[in-house]
Amino acid sequence: MKLKPYKIGLRTVKTAFGMALGVYIAKMLGVQNYSSAAILVVLCVKNTKMKSVEAASARFVSCIMALLMSYLFFTYMGHEAGVIGLLVLLFIPITVMFGVQEGVVTSCVMMLHCFNQPNITVEFLLNEFLLLCIGIGIGLLLNLIMPKHDKMLKNYKDTIEREFQVLMAELSDALKYPEMILDVSKLEKVKKTIASAKSLAFNEVENHFSRNENSYYFYFDMRQNQLDIIERMMGLINRIDCKEKLHLHCSELLMDCSRNISSNNYTAIRLHDLYEIQLNMDQHPLPKTTEQLNSRAAAIQLLNELEEYLNIKSKFGSLKLY
């Protein structure tokens, strides 16, 4: 079995520090079952700020419900194994009804505290409430510390643009040399890069309470749509078996696109050149063979796909950074 590289990330550090801090504070305040504060911290430290707030809210509400129901069940029905089974049987569907089922595990810990307490008093419930506040509070505070992903997002952007330049240059070369067969499998690497970039950009959105969008995410989504078109263009170019003047014009346009792939470039010049090629289409001699006819049809369809490719970028505009 191959072992993964040993790595300590920020979330691991926050979890370890938060567990120790939670236990220390709860013990210093004389809270019963103080070690349970560590469990609450672990469950509230998430990958993003929004997920942390959602998890903390769900656990807080579900734990309050658990304490109230535990008080009623154990006070009036006794501390029996069957009672706690009945309590959980009713409690879990209620948490689902209120949309706080994420806090079931934490709530069960609170229930067991109540089950092990012979006499559930107001002081004991306040003790559990304080324990809850310590664990959730530390988890929320630690999750305010999140790494900045701006540099990684820019690196993804630069990588994707370089890969697009290579792909478009290969499309251009394939039109010059009909014997050249384009390998569609090369797109898989770019697809994976874009998927990873979109995931990171989405996490960046969830780390900000003041905005609900990220320009990088829309940029990567735009590139993903363009990549789908590139895949279709590859299939069309592979169908072209001969070389004529129209193909050379398309090749020059594709090479121009390759040289001008960036986040803030505008596509008006490339669209103008494309429309000029389309307007001059009737100046090319008619195909004389089936091979020429199929190649001409593929080239015309290629221009339509390239127009859509450029329009996608034109609608996106430029990358807006916050």
Domain ranges, ordered by start, for the chain: 10-141, 150-316
Q: Is the dihedral of CA 104, 110, 116, 121 positive or negative?
A: negative
3-state helix, strand, coil in the chain (%, to 5): 75, 0, 25
CA–CA separation, 17 vs 138, rounded Å? Answer: 10
Residue 270 pLDDT: 87
Q: What is the DSSP letter of 44?
A: H
- The superfamily in CATH containing domain 150-316 is Putative aromatic acid exporter, C-terminal domain (1.20.120.940)
Question: How confident is the model at residue 265, as a pLDDT?
Answer: 67
Structure tokens given for 191: 């697809």
Burial of 100 (0-12, 13-18, 19+ CB in 10 A): buried
DSSP 287: P
Q: Is the CB of residue 71 less than 8 Å from the CB of residue 125?
A: yes
Chain-centre distance for alpha carbon 26: 36
* pLDDT tens by residue, 207-266: 654 454 568 888 899 999 999 999 999 988 888 877 788 888 888 999 998 888 876 766
Q: Are 107 and 55 in contact (CB under 8 A)?
A: no
Residue ranges in the chain modelled with pLDDT below 50: 209-210, 212, 322
What is the average pLDDT score of the chain?
84
- Taking the C-alpha atoms of residue 191 and residue 198, their distance in angstroms, rounded to an integer, is 11
CA distance 224 to 235: 17
Q: Render pLDDT for 180-210 as a digit per residue (tens, 0 to 9).
A: 888 777 888 899 999 999 888 877 766 654 4
Element (H, E) at 93: helix 81-98
Global confidence as pTM: 0.66
Spatial contact of 310 and 270, defined as CB atoms under 8 Å apart: yes
pLDDT at 261: 85
